[in-house]
Structure 1
Amino acid sequence: MSALELTVPATTRAEGEQERAAAPVRRILAQTRFDAMAMLRNGEQLLLTVILPLFVLAGLARSGVVDLGEGRRIDLATPGVLALALISTAFTGQAISTGFDRRAGLLRLLGTTPLGRSGLIAGRLGAVAVVSAIQVVLLGAVGLALGWQPQLAGLLPAVLVGVLGSAAFVSLGLLLAGTLRAEAVLAAANVIWVLLLAGGGVVLAADQLGPFGDFVRWLPSGALGDGLRVALTGGSWPWLDLLVLAAWTAAGTLATMRWFRWDS
């Protein structure tokens, strides 16, 4: 410590350091960048969010084993795989990472820093948005290479469906991570992902699920998958699916605010 520093009162130095602290927006952006890079560098996360959806897309586009309904297979498969990718990032990935961060005490620690709890949540939401955008661009490019022909008029409603769907699944993922033990979160998140892939209205439209279709269409997975298909295949606004996703987002957010525990 220099002689000049010794002559400056500690309170003055503390005030100066506080003044030099990063602005809230910069702290959130830094957390967003950190969380996004952590997700992209994690092998298990990449398998779940990118590699598996790519395999599903290629399999559905080239194989006729699964009946996707009336229309070109690639046009029906790509929106469903986009929905699956969004769920992988917003729900499964966030639930698992948040659950283990909570067990390790990282959430409690970051909540006491200048970032704060609200900044931590905002950073994670930003990371989900960044990774989801990368997924959409990558999977969309692969779909186009396979012959996908989306309706341009449906791009705007598809974006809104994707945003609401991601918000709904982030809230549900955080609810899961904040109420169960980390090991239970890991098991439950993976099982739910498989169940949604098989019969949650994500890859297969609710109309293709027989008597379960009337129930599945009211799930956030069914609304997300059907909403993207209606928008990108028909070029129209899926108003009912948007309302369902908005309701799930509100319910999930309120439940998370009520029952989420920062300590394990």
Structure 2
Amino acid sequence: MATAHTAPTAPATAPRTAVPGATLAVLKAETRLFLREPGSLFWIVVFPTALLTILGLVPSFRAHDDGLGGRRVIDLYVPVAVLLALIMSGLQAMPPVLTGYRERGILRRMSTTPVRPSALLGAQIALHGAAALVSALLVVAVGRTAYGVRLPEQPFGYLLALLLAVGCVLAIGSLICALSRTTKIAATAGSLVYFSMMFTAGVWVPVQAMPDALRRIVQATPFGAASQALDQAARGDWPAWAYLGAVATWALAAGWTAIRTFRWQ
């Protein structure tokens, strides 16, 4: 008498890698959705440049200051506006989106389709990272053309510091998403971290103009260190490895914790 055979289980997982171009299709779809969000695009791409433009209209900000080594306040605010673009993207825009996908069960449902949920997460991280870089480029361009701010004199050091800062803010944003059960919690947590990071980045007071004791504390934070690294590269010096190391350490710690704590549902 023939015995019943157990159905093979391998085909059940085969479709997850059987569809070519699935990740690219997800990226295209997420890009269309992202471009349909004018609010996010405004705060990420337009607001940092608009803030720099407004600050540049203040006459005293365009005057050379001996206390700043002969530089102008507007010169200090270009790296700050660059970091603001990153903070807007990684801490304000991204966490509610990713948490919303999980809260609505989209990631769980995707786990039963040929497309891995990680493709959706990767697409969101890539889009917000790209938007932050575009905004940073716009800030530098407007600072140069409108107010004569010199382009970074150490471009490779500037790029390295910028990429580390992008990775750091996306890692922190992913950690907020991992630890937040709902979009409301993600938005609240993102706002709390957002305002603290704005301060340490120098939005209200440039790090270089802070009192010595406060500056030493701020320089240990991810965006305080990034602000100093970008400023050094803008002046032509290679960013101090202590600043680059601080940003990289924060990025690795936040990224590792986010991976360990993230849940698909």
Provide TM-score, normalisation by structure 1. 0.81
Measure the CA separation in 2 of the matches of 1:50 and 1:29.
24
Please say if 1:243 is aligned against 2:245.
Answer: yes
User: 1:99 Cα shift?
Assistant: 1.7
Cα drift, residue 156 of structure 1? 1.3
- Report the equivalent of 2:168: 168
Looking at structure 1, the residues matched to 22 and 91 of structure 2 have their Cα atoms a distance apart, in angstroms, of 24
Gaps of 5+ in 2: 1-10
Say whether the 8 Å CA contact 1:151–1:235 is kept in structure 2: no
Aligned-partner residue type, residue 46 of structure 2? I
Kindly report the root-mean-square deviation, in angstroms, between the aligned alpha carbons of the 2 structures: 2.9
User: Partners in 2 of 1:191 and 1:19 — Cα distance?
Assistant: 38
- Give secondary structure in 2 for the equivalent of 1:148: coil
Gaps of 5+ in 1: 1-13
State how far apart, in whole Å, the 2-side matches of 1:227 and 1:111 are: 41
**Is residue 195 from structure 1 mapped to residue 192 from structure 2 by the alignment?**
no
Which residue of 2 is the match for residue 252 of structure 1? 254
Give the structure 2 partner of residue 217 of structure 1: 219
Match of 2:107 in 1: 107
Percent of matched pairs sharing the same residue? 23
Whole-Å separation in 1 of the counterparts to 2:237 and 2:18: 48
Shifted more, 216-225 versus 114-123: the winner is: 114-123
Quote the offset at 1:151 in angstroms: 2.9
Give the direction of change, closer, same or farther, for the CA distance of 1:53–1:20 in structure 2 (3 Å limit): closer
Q: How far off its partner does 1:83 sit?
A: 1.1
Distance in 1, matches of 2:59 and 2:264, equals 47
Shift of 1:82: 0.7
Structure 1 residues 106 and 78, CA gap change in structure 2 (3 angstroms): same
Distance 2:112 2:15 in 1: 15
CA separation of 1:161 and 1:110: change in aligned 2, threshold 3 A:
farther
How many residues are aligned here? 246
Structure 1 Cα separation of the partners of residues 50 and 101 of structure 2: 29
Residue of structure 2 in register with 1:47 after alignment: 42
Q: Answer whether contact 1:176 1:185 (CA < 8 A) is retained.
A: yes
Pair 175,141 (structure 1): closer, same or farther in 2 beyond 3 Å: same
Q: Tell whether the 8 Å contact from 2:30 to 2:124 is kept in structure 1 after alignment.
A: yes
Match of 1:186 in 2: 187
TM-superposed deviation, 1:191:
3.3
- 1:30-83 superposed Cα distances (whole Å, 9 cap, x missing partner): 333333343332122123212321222112222267799441333221111011
Retained in 1: the 8 A contact 2:87–2:197? no
1:28 counterpart (23, 31, 49): 23
Preserved contact between residue 89 and residue 129 of structure 2 (Cα < 8 Å) = no
Q: Tell me how far apart the structure 2 counterparts of residues 64 and 194 of structure 1 sit (CA, whole Å).
A: 27
Structure 1 window deviating more from structure 2 (26-35 vs 183-192): it is 26-35
Which AA in structure 1 matches 2:197?
A: L
Distance (whole Å) between structure 1 residues aligned to residue 217 and residue 95 of structure 2: 24
CA displacement at 1:189 relative to structure 2: 1.3
| C-alpha contact 1:202 1:224 (8 A) present in aligned 2 | no
Q: In structure 2, what residue type is equivalent to 1:142?
A: V
Query: Which AA in structure 1 matches 2:43?
Result: L
Relative to structure 1, is the Cα distance of residues 258 and 234 closer, same or farther in structure 2, using a 3 angstrom cutoff?
same
Contact kept? 2:91, 2:172, Cα under 8 Å = yes
Cα distance change on mapping 1:34 and 1:218 into 2, 3 Å:
farther
Normalised TM-score (structure 2): 0.81
> Helix, strand or coil: the match of 2:162?
helix
Deviations 1:209-238 (A, max 9, x none): 323222211111112222211112334233
Q: Deviations over 1:177-199 (max 9, x none)?
A: 121221021122123323322x2
